């Protein structure tokens, strides 16, 4: 199978071609990503209207580049897949309509992929030891922070979610208050390398409480209070480094605690499961990966993290999710051309509503 994937849910415009064959598994033939960081950096965050216009301007060119790099024609494709949600609705519309147009013109099946499912299955693409179902998933990104059991393609059970901020969002806001710019995740991680995390006593929200839900709003506020307690105008480079290290340590400890609870729940339901997958943009953070690595080692689990290019938003994971669906469902995996883009699309639609989580659940 060969599938074209298109991703436009946030501030990356991306197109990719992925193939699958028995024996060789999944293979990325091309993976083109155009970042919009320069367009959004002056605003300190993503402006939905700016993002949508950028997607519209570049998506056709990126699709052509992905096809040329892969060395395939539309007649070689088995389907075209695009992120159908969740995400900034203007951008999602651009990707969905582009994919529908290609599907009609080339007489191909159209597939609307849940962006979160792309992350959930990305660890199975080009992996030496692809995790078998079921496995536990920690999905940490700018818009979501969830723990889910991945029981199969299209089969997810949510164990926990953030009740306020997603962790990636908290990274961005801490970076902004410390003057580190946007995007915040890499900036905070870089600053933390020279910092002393023990200097500032920051909370570990929800740590020790029952369940698997997250909360990062209080941690973000604690950083602000720590800044305000410093002598006015004395936020020096070392202060910033120490605050970043303390924030990163607190975030890693919180993730480890909630994931530890989820491992218990997962093992009760699936005694044979031994894999924790960490996906999403925050999974690229080395300190967090190291902390989770210690956790799974102590629990005799295996930690699987996709390559960094598949952690951040990309179209290869969307194409791969399309291939996984085709393999599991056959021709019935295709969506109708009347599919409506979705700003909210939970992986586990049967999960109870989480107070204050909104679209992040």
Residue that the structure tokens 């410093």 belong to: 230
110 in the same domain as 91: yes
Number of structural domains (the chain) is: 2
In degrees, rounded to 5, the angle at the alpha carbon of residue 120 between the alpha carbons of residues 129 and 104 is: 110
- 3 state DSSP class of 254: helix
Whole-number pLDDT of residue 45: 80
Judge whether 265 lies within some domain: yes
Q: Give the residue ranges of the chain where pLDDT is below 50.
A: none
Q: In this structure, are strands 2-7 and 79-85 parallel, antiparallel, or unpaired? A: parallel
Q: What is the CATH number of the domain that holds 146?
A: 3.30.420.40
Q: In this structure, are strands 155-161 and 110-114 parallel, antiparallel, or unpaired? A: unpaired
Q: With CA atoms as reference, report the closest residue to 165 among 190, 140, 137, 182.
A: 140
Whole-number pLDDT of residue 176: 93
Whole-number pLDDT of residue 360: 64
Domain coverage including residue 89: 2-124+309-345
179 in the same domain as 218: yes
Judge whether 78 lies within some domain: yes
Judge whether 80 lies within some domain: yes
Contact (Cβ atoms closer than 8 angstroms) between residue 81 and residue 335 = no
**H or E stretch at 35:** strand 25-35
- 3 state DSSP class of 323: helix
Judge whether 259 lies within some domain: yes
151 in the same domain as 15: no
């Amino acid at each position: 199978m060969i599938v074209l994937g298109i991703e436009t849910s946030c501030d990356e415009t991306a197109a990719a071609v992925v193939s699958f064959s028995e024996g060789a598994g999944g293979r990325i033939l091309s993976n083109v990503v155009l970042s919009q960081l320069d367009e959004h950096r002056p605003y300190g965050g993503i402006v939905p209207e700016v993002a949508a216009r950028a997607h519209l301007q570049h998506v056709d060119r990126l699709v052509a580049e992905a096809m040329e790099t892969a060395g395939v024609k539309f007649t070689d494709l088995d389907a075209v897949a695009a992120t159908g949600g969740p995400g900034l609705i203007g951008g999602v519309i651009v990707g969905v309509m582009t994919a529908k147009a290609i599907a009609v013109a080339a007489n191909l099946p159209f597939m609307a992929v849940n962006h979160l499912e792309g992350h959930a299955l990305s660890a199975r693409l080009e992996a030496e030891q692809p995790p078998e179902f079921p496995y536990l998933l920690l999905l940490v990104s700018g818009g979501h922070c969830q723990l889910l059991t991945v029981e199969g393609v299209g089969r997810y059970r949510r164990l926990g979610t953030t009740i306020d901020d997603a962790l990636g969002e908290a990274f961005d806001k801490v970076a902004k208050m410390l003057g580190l710019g946007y995007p915040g995740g890499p900036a905070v991680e870089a600053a933390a390398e020279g910092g002393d995390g023990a200097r500032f006593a920051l909370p570990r929200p929800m740590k020790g409480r029952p369940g698997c839900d997250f909360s990062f709003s209080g941690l973000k506020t604690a950083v602000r209070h720590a800044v305000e307690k410093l002598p006015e105008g004395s936020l020096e480079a070392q202060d910033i480094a120490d605050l970043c290290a303390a924030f990163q340590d607190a975030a890693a400890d919180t993730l480890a605690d909630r994931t530890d609870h989820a491992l218990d729940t997962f093992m009760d339901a699936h005694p044979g499961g031994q894999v924790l997958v960490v996906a999403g943009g925050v999974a690229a953070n080395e300190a967090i990966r190291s902390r989770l690595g210690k956790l799974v080692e102590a629990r005799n689990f295996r930690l699987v993290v996709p390559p960094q290019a598949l952690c951040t938003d990309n179209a290869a994971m969307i194409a791969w999710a399309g291939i996984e669906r085709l393999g599991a469902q056959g021709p019935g995996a295709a969506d109708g051309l009347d599919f409506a883009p979705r700003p909210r699309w939970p992986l586990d639609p049967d999960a109870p509503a989480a107070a204050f989580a909104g679209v992040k659940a």
